[in-house]
């Protein structure tokens, strides 16, 4: 069929698509600012060399998913794995569709190409799943080797972006599929006004646990790309010396025959609540409750931090349901503060930290972000950030935390607080000659970097959520391309950078 109708506006196209859905004629929709023909998947649009590299990237991604214990359910489902990859920009043979015409209309108008001409037409593609399946089955009956295109429904509780977009997929493993099956389209003049759905309700600002984990993969991908750029010449002009980590995460020269065993507080039976958060469905960000942060004067950051933490403790205790979903944090429109609060809140609220810890973490996030927003290059240059944090916490220490896939994050803690989080029996495992030498927190992190061996979990979790997690979100924001950690139980290593 190809063309359903040509209408005069985006709203008219949306009304027609909605009417056709209500009548049962179509059940899948896709909005496009330009009528790209033929419709091809992101993998099919690549040339041969890029396509092969994209396939290698997909293999790496699939291997990474299988290596992350928290992603076991996704790893066991090929469609789920590739749907996640597709939604995060990796080229695949899956094509994004939605069951909601209004979402299709959003994409038909959202960020149109800069060279989109005034006389060009945008479109909403409409698909009847049953007719599509019937065609595919007929082809399979006459072509035994036909790889059957199909509709793919993926129900991943933690993939909020797919939920927000009412997303489904068509698996289209052919470059020229429209030569055989032409998709139906509603055409309308290219539109450059405001989309019909708030952007935050289509691209959720809030992050689920899965989406936080995915940031680790994309950080590793960037690290790998940088490694390729700086790879030494084959002649060996540059020599790279690889330094292996300590066996079992400790310098055995410093410890007795027992080494440094895992502390009782880290045993799996004690951390059941930290293994996986309770599944949570996406909710529209535009309908989230709003919380205004009123910053005290920052002339004395310590006092400001204490005052704000107290205010937030009262608010969270009076409104405990806030932790059940996203919150729109407002602080005089200062982007760095509001974005940092959102990251910290969504990352930490679902884990079993107590109210006081969450409140203090929010307070430090706000105060540190406020100070940083007033100081040029505070996020770029670590010595400036450290000067600002010193005003809030006193003597601090920077730590690097590595996750199970070797991605990492960095943050700061008050030296004395992190030292108190070290297990009380740490010295007794040291050899006699090392006990008087290894007394400061810096020394201990130099000889042991596995948190389950070095720290008492409960004490470390307080320091982590109050100080390390807040400082990392300010320094490693949404657009930094860096991973972040909010569940200290997932830390594989914790040491000095």
Q: pLDDT: is 211 or 337 the higher one?
A: 337
Lowest mean pLDDT among 146-150, 184-188, 189-193: 189-193
Report, as an integer, the average pLDDT of 474-481. Answer: 87
The DSSP output letter for 39 is: -
194 vs 330: CA distance, rounded Å:
23
pLDDT averaged over every residue in the chain: 90
Contact call for residues 17 and 29 (beta carbons, < 8 A): yes
Contact call for residues 331 and 337 (beta carbons, < 8 A): yes
Cβ-based neighbour number of residue 36 at 10 Å? 10
pLDDT of residue 69: 87
Contact call for residues 366 and 308 (beta carbons, < 8 A): yes
285 vs 175: CA distance, rounded Å:
37
- pLDDT above 90 (res 205): no
Q: Phi and psi dihedrals of 155, rounded to 5?
A: -110, 90
pTM, to two decimals: 0.88
List, for residues 363-374, the tens digit of each pLDDT value. Answer: 999 999 999 999
Rounded to a whole number of angstroms, the distance between the first and last alpha carbons of the chain is 61
Long-range contacts of 57-63 (CB under 8 A, 24+ apart): 57/90, 57/91, 57/221, 58/82, 58/85, 58/90, 58/91, 58/92, 60/221, 61/85, 61/90, 61/217
129 vs 131: CA distance, rounded Å:
6
Confidence of residue 63 (pLDDT cuts 50, 70, 90): very high
Contact call for residues 372 and 378 (beta carbons, < 8 A): yes
List, for residues 411-447, the tens digit of each pLDDT value. Answer: 999 999 999 999 999 999 999 999 999 999 999 999 9
Contact call for residues 337 and 442 (beta carbons, < 8 A): no
């Amino acid at each position: 069929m190809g063309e359903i109708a040509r209408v005069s506006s985006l709203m008219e196209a949306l009304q027609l698509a909605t009417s056709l859905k209500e009548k049962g004629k179509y059940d899948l929709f896709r909005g496009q600012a330009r009528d790209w023909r033929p419709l091809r998947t992101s993998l099919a649009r690549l040339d041969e060399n890029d396509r092969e590299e994209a396939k290698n990237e997909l293999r790496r991604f699939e291997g990474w998913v299988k290596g992350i214990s928290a992603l076991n359910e996704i790893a066991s489902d090929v469609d789920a794995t590739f749907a996640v990859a597709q939604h995060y920009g990796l080229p695949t043979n899956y094509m994004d569709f939605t069951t909601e015409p209004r979402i299709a209309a959003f994409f038909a108008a959202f960020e149109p190409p800069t060279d989109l001409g005034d006389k060009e037409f945008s479109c909403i593609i409409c698909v009847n799943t049953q007719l599509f399946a019937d065609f595919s089955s007929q082809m399979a009956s006459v072509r035994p080797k036909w790889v059957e295109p199909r509709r793919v429904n993926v129900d991943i509780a933690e993939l909020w972006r797919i939920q927000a977009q009412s997303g489904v997929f068509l698996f289209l493993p052919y470059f020229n599929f429209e030569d055989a099956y032409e998709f139906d389209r509603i055409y309308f003049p290219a539109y450059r006004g405001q989309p019909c759905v708030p952007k935050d309700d289509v691209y959720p600002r809030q992050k689920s646990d899965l989406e936080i984990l995915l940031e680790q993969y994309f950080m590793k991908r960037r690290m790998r790309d940088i490694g390729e750029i700086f790879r030494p010449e084959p002649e060996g002009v540059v020599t790279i010396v690889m330094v292996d980590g300590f066996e079992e995460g400790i310098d055995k020269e410093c410890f007795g025959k027992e080494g440094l065993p895992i502390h009782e507080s880290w045993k799996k039976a004690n951390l059941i609540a930290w293994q996986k958060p309770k599944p949570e469905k996406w909710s529209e960000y535009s309908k989230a409750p709003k919380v205004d942060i009123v910053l005290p004067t920052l002339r004395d950051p310590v006092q400001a931090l204490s005052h704000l933490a107290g205010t937030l403790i009262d608010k969270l205790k009076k409104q405990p349901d806030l932790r059940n979903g996203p919150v729109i944090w407002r602080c005089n429109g200062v982007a760095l503060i509001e974005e940092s609060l959102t990251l910290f809140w969504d990352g930490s609220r679902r884990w079993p930290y107590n109210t006081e810890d969450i409140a203090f973490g929010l307070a430090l996030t706000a105060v540190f972000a406020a100070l940083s927003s007033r100081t040029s290059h505070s996020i770029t240059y670590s010595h400036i950030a450290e000067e600002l944090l010193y005003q809030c916490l006193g003597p601090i220490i920077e730590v690097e935390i590595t996750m199970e896939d070797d991605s990492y994050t960095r943050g700061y803690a008050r030296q004395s607080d992190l030292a108190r989080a070290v297990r009380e029996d740490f010295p007794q495992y040291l050899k006699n000659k090392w006990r008087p030498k290894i007394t400061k927190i810096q020394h201990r992190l130099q000889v042991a970097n596995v948190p389950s061996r070095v720290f008492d979990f409960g004490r470390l979790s307080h320091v982590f959520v109050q100080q390390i997690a807040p400082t990392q979100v300010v320094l490693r924001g949404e657009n930094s391309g860096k991973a972040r950690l909010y569940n200290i139980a997932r830390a594989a290593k914790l040491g000095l950078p």
